[in-house]
Amino acid sequence: MTTFPGSPRLLKGGIVLLDPTSGAVRRIIALQYNPDSISRTLQVQAIGESGDRSQALRLKGPPVESIKVEVEIDATDQLELADGTATQVGLYPQLAALETIIYPTSGQLESNNSLAQAGTLEIAPMETALTLFVWSKNRIVPVRLTEFSVTEEAFDPALNPIRAKVSLGMRVLSVDDLGFSHKGGSLFMSYLRSKEQLASRARGGEFSALGITGIP
């Protein structure tokens, strides 16, 4: 890594967990290495499929956007520096920080079990933290993790994982999912406005580039 003072600081992508009610930050997870690529798909929410000609150009809402990233985690550097956590448990803490995003807490499970044993007829599903995928200031989006797979590739003598790849699939949560008054809904609207501002900076084309002089 260069130490030249003029070198730009490498920003990291990551995940931020917020309290769904207060919006307070619960945890920040910075990726150790930025993925080489991000795969995104956008499913259009159109009404035109109904066959009604009057609805052909109408949208029901924002597209359903899905994001997929491959994350690499490696404890080699920490082991060389004799980092206490890495030498004792390898990558377990980093993996656990990611995995517990999709787990209800032990306290929630115990509470629901107590309610069930007390004969409560209706037990509300357990609410998780509001998860944000952060990839620069232009892409801060509320997401729900939809896919999660881990490949542990190397282990220390105590069988602690010391190198792993994590595949994360995420679905962007829009105002259709959260509403406008929810913290996640307002973050989605900021994300959409950022897209609109960036789109306004794209240079417009010319009819000549399309081989035509205008629209008939």
The string of pLDDT tens digits covering residues 114-164 is: 999 998 878 888 899 999 999 999 999 999 999 999 999 999 999 999 999
Domain boundaries, the chain: 14-50+65-106+126-198
The string of pLDDT tens digits covering residues 53-92 is: 778 888 899 999 999 999 999 998 888 888 889 999 999 9
Cβ–Cβ under 8 Å, residues 133 and 103: no
Residue 62 C-beta-side C-alpha neighbours within 13 Å: 20
**How far does Cα 70 stand from its chain's mean position?**
12
Reduce the DSSP state of residue 11 to 3 states and report it: coil
- Tell me if the pTM is above 0.85: yes
Q: Which of 162, 164, 134 is nearest to 150 (CA)?
A: 164
Residue of 28 and 123 predicted with greater confidence: 28
| Residue 82: per-residue pLDDT | 87
Query: How far apart (Å, rounded) are the C-alpha atoms in residues 132 and 46?
Result: 26
Cβ–Cβ under 8 Å, residues 30 and 12: yes
| Residue 81: per-residue pLDDT | 86
